[in-house]
Amino acid sequence: MSLDPSSAIHIAHVLTEALPYIQRFKGKTMVIKYGGNAMTDDALKDGFARDIVLMKLVGMNPVVVHGGGPQIGCLLSRLGKQSEFVDGMRVTDSETMDVVEMVLGGLVNKEIVTLINNHGGKAIGLSGKDGNLIRAKQLKFSRQSPEMDVPEIIDIGHVGEVTEICSDAVDMVVQGGFIPVIAPIGVGEEGASYNINADLVAGKLAEVLGAEKLILLTNTAGLLDKEDNVLSGLTTADVNALIADGTVYGGMLPKTRCALEAINGGVRTVHIIDGRQQHAVLLEIFTDDGIGTLIRGRRE
């Protein structure tokens, strides 16, 4: 069955629009943080895997870092253990950490690897403990209210922060022609395991790898102005101003600060995009308009 002329012209336009981006980014490293609805909807999961395979086939080096909060919560519930959060961070005792490792390093990681491989890619799953990829220490968390003379120190258990990224294992996987899929579990002194925010891991990894782009999939259309319009083409100065005047707030603040740190660490651009959009990664990288928020260090 042949295409009608209008459909054929549209397909040709899409392909020619993508060509300069394919040429520009050949051989470049792209770190993609995969999370939110994109990880729970079957059609979106399938589309994401196809996007990653296509990126590799046209010469890019995608590196996937994934979350898995809902999946962790679901298994904890099935085991009769209630999830507890402090300011959005999961309180992670030793028993919960065992579940985190099981879900992130096992179930979720291997599902992503399998999806990519099923679409003709060659993916290898890694935990941050493999090859001491993610060195970590316990996150010291404090909270202070106006009536307190000194901050309250809260023990949230095996929640960690990155102290060092040793990218040897990732480099070896990429050089072998494979796609790394990384679970954000860090290793501390004497082999202690730590649950680390996937955005933070993706940002630090992008810095160490000298990535061209850091792409953060979210459940929003990107950074929004006060009228809920998507903002794009921003510099770090623009973003700092948006934080200062309260335009960026709440749950987007940690993600936005992660983006700023990555830019300051040498990543060329950061993209905050809507993972609820089918083929969001390809639309952001290979089209002139993109679909989310692009942040760069300076005007180009």
**The pLDDT value given to residue 150:** 59
pTM recorded for the entire structure: 0.91
Is the Cβ–Cβ distance between 216 and 33 less than 8 Å?
yes
Angle, CA 50 vertex, CA 274 and CA 5 arms, to 5°? 90
> Could you report how far apart the first and last alpha carbons of the chain are, in Å?
45
Helix (H/G/I), strand (E/B), else coil: 67: coil
Domains defined for the chain, CATH in brackets: 26-84+99-127+178-184+197-296 (3.40.1160.10)
Is the Cβ–Cβ distance between 8 and 278 less than 8 Å?
no
Name, in order, each residue with C-beta under 8 angstroms of 137's C-beta and a sequence gap of 6 or more.
160, 161, 163, 188, 189, 194
The C-alpha atoms of residue 14 and residue 11 are separated, in whole angstroms, by 5
The C-alpha atoms of residue 53 and residue 79 are separated, in whole angstroms, by 35
Beta-sheet pairing, 61-66 with 29-34: parallel
**The pLDDT value given to residue 41:** 87
**The pLDDT value given to residue 106:** 93
Q: What is the pLDDT along the chain (300 residues), one digit of tens a residue?
A: 555 666 667 677 778 888 999 999 999 999 999 988 788 889 999 999 999 999 999 999 999 999 998 899 999 999 998 888 877 788 888 999 999 999 999 999 999 999 999 999 999 999 999 999 999 999 887 665 666 665 667 778 899 999 999 999 999 999 999 999 999 999 998 889 999 999 999 999 999 999 999 999 998 888 998 888 999 889 999 999 999 998 988 778 888 999 999 999 999 999 999 999 999 999 999 988 788 999 997 654
**The pLDDT value given to residue 152:** 65
Beta-sheet pairing, 213-218 with 152-154: unpaired
